[in-house]
Amino acid sequence: MSQDRSPDPRLANVLLLLASLGFGLAVVCGVGWWLAARGPVHLADLDPEARRQLGWELMSVSPGVYAPASFEPRIGYTLGRRKTITAWNDTFEANALGFRTGPVAKERGTFRILFVGDSWTFGMGVRRHETFAEVAAGMAADHAGLPGPVEAWILALPGYNTPAQVAALRSLFDRLEPDAVVICPTPNDNHSLPKVLANGSLAFGGMEGDAFGDPHPVTYRIHLVDSHRYDERWRVALGQLAEVEAWLGERRIPLMFFFTGTWPEPMVHRLMLEGGLTSPFAITPPTWTTEAWRNPQPVGHPTAEAHRRYARVVYRSLAELLGWGALPDVGPGEDVPLWRRPSAGEAARARGFQAKHTVRGIGTGFDAESPESFRQCVAPSMDCPGGGFGRGATVLVRRRDGATRLSVTVRRLADIPSVYPLDLMVTIPSPAGGSRRSVTVPADGDPDLTFDIDIPGDLRPGVALDVTFEVDAVSLVGSGPTARSLALRRIEQI
């Protein structure tokens, strides 16, 4: 989907920020990338010049260049079709389908490689000819020994997740006529897909479910989490990739996966194994995704030199897969393998990586006033800190050994009295069905309401509990566009 570093543990009151800057609904897609490089942001602490700078940084990541994909809503959006666009360190013309790549029609005799992905595959921060897709196609033209031209067609945009990528590949396949396909997953491709605002920027709404089955949009601030819903969302993504793999196999189209972004190798093996995926795959070495290989913030994505290294991995993998000529200029330390099948031994290590990241980033309780709460919020439209949410929200709480229940405290919001009494449903999903608790928030009396919910017994200590809140009514807060219902104050384990 996009940039995949764990963000700074400090946090930002993004909803207040965006409402004041006039971005509308909720969280601009680029804010996840942008927050990785910034600390707390409260508009009251900023002078007018600082606010303008903040707005520029946000628009640098999610500029007003997108258009809804009305021809296939599951894709979500494209760039403005046939428009000249200046964004992400480049000026280019989007083609007839709204992508930064070549013409739609394929010339006779051309070998077209279709690259499917998100901002890493798009090449956010570099020019089109510097992307690993274009560089790899150039290497193929020079060394593959094919009789005609070789072309990279980049079916990728910032913010795309797996369902959007799969929908784009399926719906445009016949028009694009690829001869080979490279699908490029990143660690946050199990996040929700943003929507296009009226100004052409991207945002997450807070009022609807998503393609993975959650009742509201979801983004993980930590991209390796040991939680039931995190794993379930990847299972949905993997199921769609497996269907595409079989679909391309029926059409005799060669397929490989190139895992871009910062992937722990064991996690890739686990996903390939659990998803039943059988295509060859290569993995970007994490050392090629560090700050030294990235453009400065707010873009923060790989440099042109990093793309050249990625391109050599892709070319050598395709050459091994398709019998092309060897690449003569392999540098030291660049012998990245093409895996023909996942390693069960490597996959077994993945849980350790998830557990380590969960312990490091997810607390055993939740305090809305704590800066650490930002890491625990997976609903992008939720206030963290503050705890305010709209139609739905989810926070992560790491299960403590010996705890059997959660004590949850929510607070009625004084400036939206019309929504109370309010019905609230709290769930903790689990493989065995999870637990549920229904409560009614009264219209008067103590503004704080505290209640308990059982922790499902099949969720072991150390995992992150997905504590999900859903309400039956919301209201706009003040004069802004932010829909709210309640504020989550704290969660404690008992």
Q: Say what the pLDDT of residue 54 is.
A: 58
Q: Say what the pLDDT of residue 399 is.
A: 98
Contact indicator for 76, 281 with CB cutoff of 8 Å: no
The contacts of residue 447 (CB under 8 Å, 6+ apart) are 411, 412, 414
Q: Say what the pLDDT of residue 328 is.
A: 84
DSSP letters of 370-391? Answer: STTHHHHB--TTS-TTT-EESS
Q: Say what the pLDDT of residue 253 is.
A: 98
Helix pair angle (304-322, 132-143), 10° resolution: 50
Measured at the alpha carbon of residue 239, what is the angle toward residues 246 and 307, in degrees to the nearest 5?
80
**90, two tokens:** 């480049």
- Give the model confidence (pLDDT) of 297-320 as tens digits: 888 999 999 999 999 999 999 999
- Give the model confidence (pLDDT) of 68-87 as tens digits: 999 899 999 999 999 999 99
d(CA 414, CA 417): 6
- Give the model confidence (pLDDT) of 209-249 as tens digits: 899 999 999 999 988 999 999 999 999 999 999 999 999 99
Q: What are phi and psi of 410, to 5 degrees?
A: -115, 160
* pLDDT for residue 203 is more than 90: no
Residue 20 — very low, low, confident or very high, per pLDDT cuts 50/70/90? very low
Contact indicator for 121, 100 with CB cutoff of 8 Å: no
Helix pair angle (265-274, 228-250), 10° resolution: 60
Secondary structure (3-state) at 167: helix
pLDDT > 70 fraction of the chain, expressed in percent and rounded? 86
Q: Say what the pLDDT of residue 11 is.
A: 32
Q: How far apart are the first and last CA of the chain?
A: 37
